[in-house]
Amino acid sequence: MEGVRDKLTKYQQIVQQLLMGYAQSKPAYGEIEVETIFDTQRNHYQIVHLGWQNKRWVHHCVIHIDIRNEKIWIFYNSTEHDIAADLVDLFTSCT
C-alpha cells in the first residue's frame, strides 16, 4: 500500500513533468519567456509568461496547480490544454 509521502512524491513528479512539457511551448507573439515555478515545500506549481509585447511589460500566470490534502487542485488554466485529462493520462501511464 502506498504511503502518504510516496503518494505526494508521485504527485509532485507528475505535476512537474506535465508543466515542463507545457513550458516547451513559447508564445508566438512578443519577446516572452516561459518560466516554471515549482515550490515543492508548499506544493505550489505555476507556469508564468514574462517579457515584452508591443513595448508593454507582460507578467502573467498561465497555469497554477497546487497539491493539497492528497489531491491535485487546478486553480488556473488560461491555456487550451485540458490539464485534468493530461494528468489522468500521466497517472494511468505510470501505473
Mean pLDDT of 41-64: 95
Q: Which residues have CB under 8 Å from 90's CB, separation 6+?
A: 14, 17, 18
- Reported as a single tens digit per residue, the pLDDT across 25-43 is 888 777 899 999 999 999 9
Please tell me the predicted confidence (pLDDT) of residue 95. 62
- The domain spanning residue 66 has which CATH number? 3.30.310.110
pLDDT at 1 over 80: no
Give me the residues paired with residue 47 across strands.
36, 63
Query: What pLDDT is attached to residue 44?
Result: 98
In the sheet that 44-53 helps form, which strands lie side by side, from edge to edge? Answer: 31-39, 44-53, 56-68, 71-77
Q: Count structural domains, the chain.
A: 1
Does the pLDDT of residue 74 top 60, yes or no?
A: yes
Range of the domain at 81: 4-94
